[in-house]
Chains A and B, each alone.
Chain A
């Protein structure tokens, strides 16, 4: 991929709020560009630092070290000036609303706003009130589209394709925006998606998302190509949605024994941070089939591609 002037559009959307903003062809284009960045992103020639002179604001209403640093690194590698705002420690505690914060930031004229918020739909609301490109870095229990893109890239690099694979998403589906974005993306790309969880952690109507729901690991993991574990939100789980972490580990933890139900050599993924000994055993998390570290690496590449893509969409919009 080459210099600023000749860059073709990747997708039409002006914001990345949800996977539904992208068509299957556009997702492939994003993954292609991300794949390119994964190879050379760290040492981009100066002329390819396409966001040089632009401003990216990371607005995190909810703490997240890994996603925020991933976006920060992605912006910086593309030459943008990146500013981090941890809102939970500043104005919100003084009674400012989300929209007040948006107005303040808007007055600073950033080009990109990367937002994480604890309420589903909050990022969408912000996008209506600011004049820059908005990227959803996770809103409530709704979506986390860049996580799904980086998961898809990781899978595609191992299998050379997405279509026709079978992926099991396991654990706390109910509270997981990662699960929702992955379900939308993977089903869109022709992947057979299974969800494996106790029914208390399955959102109602899930089969209508185009997935198969399983209640135990043995049948749920049978023959799958990828096992994607989710983080169990331990602080609000015990006794409410599941009896205890001990019982969850016994029946739904990924161990060498349960992993054996999957296709031999199946990939093990986790969006992090992991609860070792709760949803995943250390021997599996650090084992030969784990691609968890690679997921983090792909995160930067995917976010570079999205920033680049949004910049192209904006330019296309400016010059009809």
Chain B
């Protein structure tokens, strides 16, 4: 659906244009033709674009590069009842996300060039926003045999990862990192030592009071330490998909200080929620890694602000009622997040010490540059993927208003402030907010 962009010239004017990696923070606009940006900045005004363009007045709202979400789970192929690429892309568009990076733990697993090709073709034919898959780093994400990293990259996979599993065999992971480096392929790690992760929520007082088995932060730290030592040994580009604890941040800082090619992500949920939100066994707050303490959450927010954490993801993980409306211990992990990520992030900039510029970097520009994509930037010649944001519009999260096929949002019934009001992919408007 992205394949044939609008051919006419369109100008979005009277906006506050914000793209820190291009040094843009000004009143102005953006001029688009055939899916590409022709011009952006102060010079683009209603007067300057002339009569040849369709003019859209942004009414002083924020215009930012479209969000690039590095961690999206869909059910396609294999579990379409949870989410399809199409339904996920509806949610993405409504949340200002213009590129979704989908995870490989589908059925079948995305561990073969033909399946990468399938996902890309399905996305082209059915999805509203751009889709690029990460492929498995081991066959069947079984942690035993290296996947065909070279052929997967050639087919269009943007990184390799075993999604929700760490490759526990250190020698296999070492070889995969070594091999991936030859192809300059990014390896994305899931930092969790399985033998320490038998629990269902953060280990500590809260878990003890609820009588639930805990997952200590050390589970994350140990695997992360191991991964970073292997990165030091092999020189591979490595991104840890999500961190959840303050202890992990020290590990990341040390690796970055050493100059290792390491980047770090965090889910939006871990920046705005903590373990006490679980309250009376609310399973929509059962996540992997688990929500941690308030101290951890604050440390994560500070790490986004200072750049230790590079990327914010939605970790959008649609789960049906069958797997969520269960006793806490038996319920599935995961929450949807594509539609609420931007709004939650805006509350961070309103209430905590993270600038809007830093958020735009973490939500769009950094993920794009880590993955080597050409989107995520506002400059002439770049793809016309952007989002118009009203930072003050309040809206209520309800089942009926969520476009995702699954409704497991931890923010259900909450009122959020700020949202995408128009989302543009390849020059085409794919979403317009209608209250």
Contacts and interface: CB of A to CB of B under 8 A. Distances in A.
Interface of A: 198-200, 215-216, 238-244, 246-247, 250-251
Given A200-B175, A250-B151, A243 B146 contact: yes
B178 A242 contact: no
A215 B235 CA distance: 14
Given A239-B139, A250-B150, A200 B179 contact: yes
B174 to A, nearest CB: 9
B145 A247 contact: no
Contacts of B181: 199
Nearest to B233: A204
B148 A246 contact: yes
Contacts of A251: 150
B346 interface: no
Contacts of A238: 145
Given A247-B151, A250-B151, A239 B179 contact: no
Given A246-B148, A247-B148, A240 B182 contact: no
B150 A240 contact: no
Contacts of B146: 239-240, 242-243
Contact of A244 (B138, B148, B178): B148
A240 B178 CA distance: 11
Interface string B173-200: 0010011011000000000000000000
B147 interface: yes
B149 A243 contact: yes
Nearest to B145: A239
B380 interface: no
Q: Which residue of A199, A216, A238, A241 has the most chain B CB atoms within 10 A of its CB atom?
A: A199
Interface range on chain B (Cβ under 8 Å from partner): 10 to 19
Contacts of A240: 145-146, 172, 175
A215 B182 contact: yes
A246 B151 contact: yes
B144 interface: yes
Given A239-B139, A240-B172, A198 B182 contact: yes
4 closest A-B pairs by beta carbon, nearest first, are: A239-B145, A243-B148, A247-B148, A243-B146
Interface in B125-161: 138-139, 144-151
Contacts of A244: 148
Contacts of B182: 198-199, 215-216
A300 B172 CA distance: 41
A247 B144 contact: no
Contacts of A239: 138-139, 144-146
Contacts of B138: 239
A242 to B, nearest CB: 7
Interface in B362-405: none
Nearest to B181: A199
22 contacts: A199-B179, A199-B181, A199-B182, A199-B234, A200-B175, A200-B179, A215-B182, A239-B144, A239-B145, A239-B146, A240-B145, A240-B175, A242-B146, A243-B139, A243-B146, A243-B149, A243-B151, A244-B148, A246-B148, A247-B148, A247-B150, A247-B151
